[in-house]
Amino acid sequence: MISPAEAAKLANLELIARRIVEGFLVGLHRSPFQGFSVEFSDYRSYQPGDSPDRIDWRVYGRIERLYVRRYEEETNLQAYLLLDTSGSMGYPTSGPYTKLDYALFLSAALAYLLIQQRDAVGLYAFDEGLHTFLPARARRTWVRQLFAALEPFRGAPPRPRRSALSQTLHRIAEKLRRRSLILLMSDGFVEPGEEEAFTRALAHLNAQKHEVLFFRIWDELTEKYFQLPLQPLQLIDLETRRKTHIHTLEIQALYLEHFQRWERQLYKFCTAHQIDLIPVDMRQDFFTPLYRYLLKRQRLP
């Protein structure tokens, strides 16, 4: 499967989405999970007697395997991508891509899969408030409008704005009258003392009967395990631009204690409310988050 670093080199999100999905299909075919794999994409393996007109020759050109397109009636599923574009998603500030870029690549791949399955997909993007909205549509041409709405955030400097994560989720829960699949893309970092507000917002979505997949995107080495150089450092808050000087040895234990306590609390809450919490390391490929989406989609009518 294409890596995030390789995806970052490609020209646009439409190309990125296709490459990710095609690689994902190959990965499923070669994995122990191939039993239901292709049926959940818009493809199945070519069988003798299938019309050559239905062969996807672009897929064949990449993986040298014959797949035919499946044409199904539009489903009743309505999905929304919820994209956190706040300052913390601009981490790291140096490197080929950021957490936000990873979220964009994954969102594009999910939108591509949803549209191929005749599901309707829409978009909410937010930082201090909602700033981008597209309604859910299932037309094939609609995915290009989604990509066009997402493209300006790709590779852009981090927006020095806090994330109104809790308030945004409450607002969306009130706006969506129809049961939907919510695909939340965020690092899930909240200010100390705001943890309960965030879980209440997730509970609000749950109470409105929405199905929630929370893709928690982070840099595992530095943000989860705090693997930083053992020396004095200057840290810059990407949301407020506030600067502080620390020594790694002095702060590491306190950081890990707070982080792990919040992780246990969040995992316990999501398990109790049947919310899919999916940790995503931005250094890894896209197979696991896409596979978790397919598992969720399989359970939905």
* pLDDT tens-digit map of 264-293: 999 999 999 999 999 999 999 999 999 999
Task: For the chain, give the longest Cα–Cα distance.
Answer: 69
Tokens describing residue 77: 């599923």
Contacts of residue 264, defined as CB under 8 A and 6 or more positions apart, other chains included, come to none
pLDDT band at 35 (very low <50, low <70, confident <90, very high): very low
* Secondary structure element (H or E) that encloses residue 243, with its range: strand 243-247
CATH homologous superfamily of 78-299 equals von Willebrand factor, type A domain (3.40.50.410)
Percent of the chain's residues with pLDDT above 70? 91
Mean pLDDT of the chain: 86
pLDDT band at 37 (very low <50, low <70, confident <90, very high): very low
Tokens describing residue 246: 């620390």
pLDDT at res. 116: 84
pLDDT at res. 51: 75
CB 239 within 8 A of CB 87: yes
CA distance 227 to 144: 39
* pLDDT tens-digit map of 150-177: 999 998 776 667 888 999 999 999 999 8
Which pTM does this prediction carry?
0.83
Buried-exposed string 146-171: b where 16+ CB fall within 10 A, e elsewhere? bbebbeebbeeebbebbbbbbebbbb
Say whether pLDDT at 74 is over 50: no
In the chain, where are the structural domains located? 4-69, 78-299
Strand partners, 235: 244
Q: Is 210 exposed, middle or buried (0-12, 13-18, 19+ CB in 10 A)?
A: buried
CA distance 50 to 66: 11
